[in-house]
Structure 1
């Protein structure tokens, strides 16, 4: 009977020490641990009951068994509060039977023995969650990198504090508490993931719109060139319809779809002659933008570079590709000199 006494006292001590967290531990993936503990206690008590046991003990045991059955049902129904209630009631009953049936109760129920048993048994019934902690830490580190990439204003301080707490709990062999802390970490990770996805979606949408706007400028120049070259009204009408659809597109997927349609039209009617120049114009615009964010760059040099770029666009608009190409080469050299002079 010694084993069931110490075992029951362990559960009672855990319930008194952890109180609320017991239900949280139940709510985790390993909630069936509580049912396993209760059934183990039931089996050990049953081994101590015989036909000669007092009727009071037998009635108490039946009541304990009913609570274990109710605990199992509560777990199936995901009813955490009911599960906690039936678990504690069953363990109190089994402990009461142990006190009546065992002559060793007094010796084993000292605070020192109970505390030692609690520590030893918790270690044996709840696994060390160090590996889970490590995996979560690696995952959160990757989330921090992604958040930085998208400039997402996410505060990771709460997660950092919980990681420190869980490490301390594991070091103190408080595995049940550590599991509870890890569950909180998982819940916050779900929220952080959503925030990052929302922020990434906004950024992607904004970038798509900015690219669409630049492409519309290219398309305007292409349409003007088509008119000056005397291309058919059918070609010009298709380009103008494509421009209208692109200008009204708001979703990144729709923007990509419309740009692909425009590329198809350009290839179909052999209007890709200046595509290479337009790509270089976009690259030069990016270079000027990056230089404007650097320290030590003369603002007058940037103003001159922007004026030259506008001149290049006008030449492309007029179909003067050779002149535009020459100016692009000169501007690229100037920008490289500006970068080297910093």
Structure 2
């Protein structure tokens, strides 16, 4: 709430009271003919009266200007809100004018569902788990957002991608169309030079395989192990642009809070804004999904957890070599063209 009395208001009030008092004191206590003639005395009294009037006018003008600025801000906010919902009005108008009960009932049902989703997002400060197509659309939105930031800021661009990847045991079904588009978008971000920092959570199933003495490649298709090798091939295989990607690795059990999150994709823009798709998991149909976080405090908490391990000691090049020592896993990677 804005204070009723500002420092300037108090100063003006004090001057309005003191200026006529000062003029009275000067005219009354200086004997006539010694320092001031009668005309000068009248001038001082007039000044003592006019100064508060001038100060009052200044104060009123400032208040009026402030009110006009506040009204203009309200008008701007209303106009902005109006622009955002304008695309809804024509659609609803068409529904009302269609005169078709079936269309209207369909529209009311769908609009009601949308209202429930939006209300839930407002109440919970997150979107809830998205449908797979919505998940990929949100990924594309974040990608386009940081690409736009890169294009607009160019020299002073300081944005980055920060993400966490888990290697779940359960299979998930990738939508070939969306997954291909997302792969192309990731490539576009890498080629544009956007820095990427990714934290990898190593489950026990993978850790046990790669640290076994000696290392033995699994004969069966273990999804978590295959996913880990595919990540290494993507970023450390032939032709990979290592200079814009940094990977860090810890075991899942090292931090239960991160283990619970499982995975996320997030961006930081040049202005410091953080956006995140949080808690990657599979839905009941085996498709990948996540939710959007809206609360800045919650996003900052995830960021702090991430920064605990996004440090040189946890870089995958160092940490992985320390984990496997000389059991043969590094030569296995090298034979596959993976150079850490």
TM-score scaled by length of structure 2: 0.26
Whichever of the two has the greater Rg, that structure is 1
Q: Name whichever structure is richer in helix by fraction.
A: 1
TM-score scaled by length of structure 1: 0.26
